Structure formats: structure tokens, C-alpha cells
Amino acid sequence: MNLHRSLLAASLVAAAGLSIIPVASARAAEGLGGTAVPGVCMLSREGVFAQSKVGQAASQRLGQLAEQARTQLDNQRTPLDNDLKSFQQKAASLSEAQRKQQGEALQQRVQTFQGQAGELNQRIQLTRGKAMQRIGQDAEPIVASVYKNHHCGLLLDRDSVLGGNMTNDLTPEVVQGLDRKVTTISFDLEPMPTHIGNTGK
């Protein structure tokens, strides 16, 4: 079972702050009740990330990196904003040539800043993906073991289930197993890939 890929996909949707919103959907599904279907089991990937200790640690670390990125951008944006305001205030007193020269220089700085902001955002997304992939790889054998212990024949995404008996929800056991295996994770901001634009020739 190559489950870490699907876990990764779910984590990207969850973003840095891992949401527990799907739990509410699960409670609504439980309310419908019904007979448990033998061999049919469920797992909330979002729940594993949101409730496990390592998932919470990853979310906290991603938040720190995002805040550092915001601070870095703010430090660069403040002088740029000041220069833009100064240019607007004195533009009327400048000659056409001066307005053009200074305006083009400021526009170039704005474009450079926007490029840096976009790159930082991409690096945060890359970092999130790598961190969630690591967690997914740690969770994969645990999911496989719990799946086998419950004699499951089919594993469904709990967060996509509209209603029914939720008895065979593997999420709590997977979270417990993951907590026993790993509780924290450390990582830094990923660099931009150097192979961007490579067509594979």
C-alpha cells in the first residue's frame, strides 16, 4: 500500500495550519448509524496529520518558517513603500525625463520584490510537501498493520463518507501508533529546485 502519496496530497490541501474540520463531517456520518460493513474500514488522512504529535509539530514549524518569510518580505517592502510615496509626492516637481527614469527604477524594484515574494511562497510549499511526505512514510507501515489487524478488505477516506456506521475507523489507532513511533520533526526552508525549466533532454 503506497499510502504516503495520498497522505501527501491531503496535507497540501490542509496547508500549514492543519484543519480538523473533517471531524465534524465524521460526527454527522456517525449520527446516521447503521450496521457496520465487515471488511470495510475508514481512515481520515487529515485527522492523522491534525491529531498526531508529529503532525502538530510539523504545522508549528511550518508556521514559524512562514512567519520568518513574512518578516523578511516586510523588511524589504517598508523602504520600497517609503520610496514609492516619496516619488508620488515629488513627481509633479520633476521633469518628464526624471519622472520616467525614477518611475522605471521603482517599477523594477517592485517587480523584483514580487518575484522574491513568489519564490518564498514556492519554497514554503516545497517545504510543506517534503515534511508531509516524511510523515506519510512514517505512517504507511502503521496504516498497513492496523488495516491487517482489523481484517479490512477495503479502506475508504473517512472524510468522503456521507453517512453510516463509523465503527471501523482506523484513524485513532493510526494516530496512537504514529505517536509511539515519532513525536517531532525538524526541517528548514527548502531551496528552490535547480532543475526548473529542464525539459529532460
Q: What is the pLDDT of residues 72-90, one digit of tens each?
A: 899 989 999 999 999 899 8
Amino acid at 38: P
Check if the beta carbon of residue 131 is closer than 8 Å to that of residue 80: no
Does residue 114 surpass a pLDDT of 60? yes
In this prediction, residues 160-167 reach a mean pLDDT of: 82
Comparing 96 with 36, which gets the higher pLDDT? Answer: 96
pTM: 0.69
The secondary structure of residue 169, as a DSSP letter, is B
pLDDT score for 35:
79
Q: Is 125 exposed, middle or buried (0-12, 13-18, 19+ CB in 10 A)?
A: middle
Query: In angstroms, how far is the first alpha carbon of the chain from the final one?
Result: 33
Comparing 165 with 72, which gets the higher pLDDT? Answer: 72
For 176, half-sphere exposure in the C-beta direction (CA atoms, 13 angstrom radius) is 6
pLDDT tens digits, 146-163:
999 999 999 999 988 887
Secondary structure element (H or E) that encloses residue 41, with its range? strand 40-43
Does residue 22 surpass a pLDDT of 90? no
Residue count of the chain, please give it.
201
In this prediction, residues 44-58 reach a mean pLDDT of: 93
Does residue 195 surpass a pLDDT of 70? no
The percentage of residues in the chain with a pLDDT greater than 90, rounded to a whole number, is 56
Does residue 197 surpass a pLDDT of 70? no
pLDDT score for 30:
54
What is the distance between the alpha carbons of residues 146 and 101, in angstroms, rounded to a whole number? 67
Distant-in-sequence contacts of 122-125, Cβ < 8 A, 24+ apart: 122/192, 123/69, 123/189, 123/190, 123/191, 123/192, 124/16, 124/62, 124/65, 124/66, 124/69, 124/189, 125/12
pLDDT score for 36:
80
pLDDT tens digits, 98-112:
989 999 999 999 999
In this prediction, residues 63-67 reach a mean pLDDT of: 94
Comparing 141 with 34, which gets the higher pLDDT? Answer: 141
What is the distance between the alpha carbons of residues 149 and 165, in angstroms, rounded to a whole number? 19
- The domain locations on the chain are 4-181
Cα 188 to the center of its chain, rounded Å = 14
Comparing 172 with 197, which gets the higher pLDDT? Answer: 172
pLDDT score for 194:
79
